[in-house]
Amino acid sequence: MSGVLESSAKNVILTGGAQAKNVFWESAGAVSIGTDAHFEGTILAQTMIAMKTHSSINGRLLAQTAITLQMSTVTVPAL
């Protein structure tokens, strides 16, 4: 992926037995998770990751430059 924008109030949910600890999303650009959105898995971004107000993730955020959280929730999955 080259930059990613998840719209507000949308959810990325894993199904079929997939676990957030085993799913990796890679982006060559910036990633933005919209207001009230939910995401699952580990995000690897070449530049930055921005989580908007009341967004949440079940996973990890890894970026080379910056990660910004605006009243967001990060839940690290159990190994």
State the chain's mean pLDDT as an integer.
93
In degrees to the nearest 10, what's the CA dihedral of 49, 66, 73, 3?
0
Inside any domain, residue 15: no
Q: Which two tokens stand for residue 23?
A: 């799913």
Would you say residue 17 lies in a domain?
Answer: no
Assigned domain for 70 exists: yes
Question: Is residue 61 included in any domain, yes or no?
Answer: yes
Confidence at residue 2, expressed as pLDDT on a 0 to 100 scale: 59
Domain total for the chain?
1
- Contact predicate 36/8, CB 8 Å: yes
Q: Does residue 18 fall inside a structural domain? A: no
Would you say residue 36 lies in a domain?
yes
Give dist(CA 58, CA 64) in Å, integer: 20
- For residues 61 and 74, is the Cβ–Cβ distance under 8 A? yes
Report if residue 55 sits inside a domain. yes
pLDDT at residue 4 greater than cutoff 80: no
For residue 39, what are the domain limits? Answer: 4-10+23-75
pLDDT tens-digit series, residues 19-32: 999 999 999 999 99
